[in-house]
Structure 1
């Protein structure tokens, strides 16, 4: 937690009035004392007020602006439904089509429409703009179960296993997450267990160097062996977090999915309480395919959290509604770009507001 303050400098102590020597030499000094001349007392000078300190901007305001920009393609398709002047069945039909086009899925779309009808009736809304605000509330409530923080510190080290298909932004997300953890004061060790993809180890090594954290890697080594060595090293060195980068694969590649299960078992041998988190990185542009990945990887690995990347410019941002309705795995982080600050913790209300802004 950060606090913004400015210390006030203490006011200087008042100077004692100067004492003048008697005038007229020793004779004057021996003369009987006369009534002292009145001494002008200087008026008290008020201590200067400290310069006003501007209140810090809301820490997530910049992020919210980027999120709104990233979800503009999704939100514009939904927002156009509310440009009319009437609340009728045509509005609900158009909204249903817009939600389906945003890849919200049939189940989540029907849930939102039913919930919205109830809210409109209870609020006695008569303006489409009011219906839009009620829809934002409905989406926020639907997404609320996905909002959960990633907890570090209950175990030392906290072993986080990260999976995902090639191209989802898995290794880059690990690098950004490493930076976030390091900025919070956590000591991190990376395990380069993606031994299948060319240059995967090198890419992770760049992030390790950039974030000045340790990395365990083996050229052409067995992924499970790398993980075992990394977890053992993390325990021996007293690291707070061990982040395990696994090879990207499609859930239909059964032999590679079995390799992931093997890695999880080996991590558990190195630390009987681990892995403590199993994260899946998914590309937000893939829409319903992202939901299929969540289901497949969850069945294989029992996921504890998601990182959803590349939401900037997507027209399929409604997929989070589908995930919340059909496979509510917590969403720890969402990303809207390549920069470090473009990965941030997920907030259901922020997402709903950005989606309909």
Structure 2
């Protein structure tokens, strides 16, 4: 087989890249080691920056999002029961949209199927070869038969545990990581959300988040130790703990019900540098991980592939390598700003084992400063709704 770009991974990053390149007449094949149903079954967050919303429109995959997504003008922060709303539209004229990552993936899959572009699911033993030359190849197995694809470029969009980053020689890669001593215990429930917008809560017992997937489906989280087991948490225990951590008005308004999904997500920050290795490019979770506190994971993946699609289009249309030569530096500049924001959100909203009374007063001072300073509130709004792609 022969194509121009092989994309490893059929998550939202890979599918969006494929769609953007397809719109420019650039041939792609996507390889995914999992089944299509498995990919669609992943439960992920879904707060989309304004830039991501606009990019999905540009890709021709935004119609259902526009019809079903929930536009949010702001968010609320709560500190030990004191609650404050930050109106992003009033502060900077921008918004975010709540639309689940599963729905984004579904829309991109449908768009790819309609275009006739090729996606190979359940590809076994994917391996990358010759990406340090002008003739890269990707090999994989399917149905007991070995296949090889010759291509111009390989895009590694296969996540933190994927083969793409693992194929890079160790001495060519530098990584930065911070693992947090806690996770988020989350439940999904078919009940209306407690608020029209997200509520981020800091309490001395730990962080909590009131979120949603739709007007009839809610997602709630509480901070738990990193070694906590989900089996230790009945629904009743979860609801009791959530009520303790939010303000009294929110606690009273909660509409509880049986969970339809319950899981614990660990929190960590991770960045790999550089993101280009000859004809191989890393994007999305293969390149970086952020804590979910700042809602940046999917949005960073979208900005990565927007930049990569632009660079590859420039290469094929103008025979210029300027875009691909600068891809890593351009993307990492935005990545580190998002890492900073996610770290900041995590640091002020969570309780840490080493935090003493002085540390908690600093967290409180940070909250009070946000509430009392328009400049600080504008900075929050600018970062939360998304820095320019």
Quick check: TM above 0.5? no
| TM-score of the aligned structures, taking structure 1 as reference length | 0.26
Tell me which structure has the larger Cα radius of gyration. Answer: 1
Larger helix proportion of the pair: 1
| TM-score of the aligned structures, taking structure 2 as reference length | 0.25
Higher relative contact order (CA 8 A, sep 6+): 1
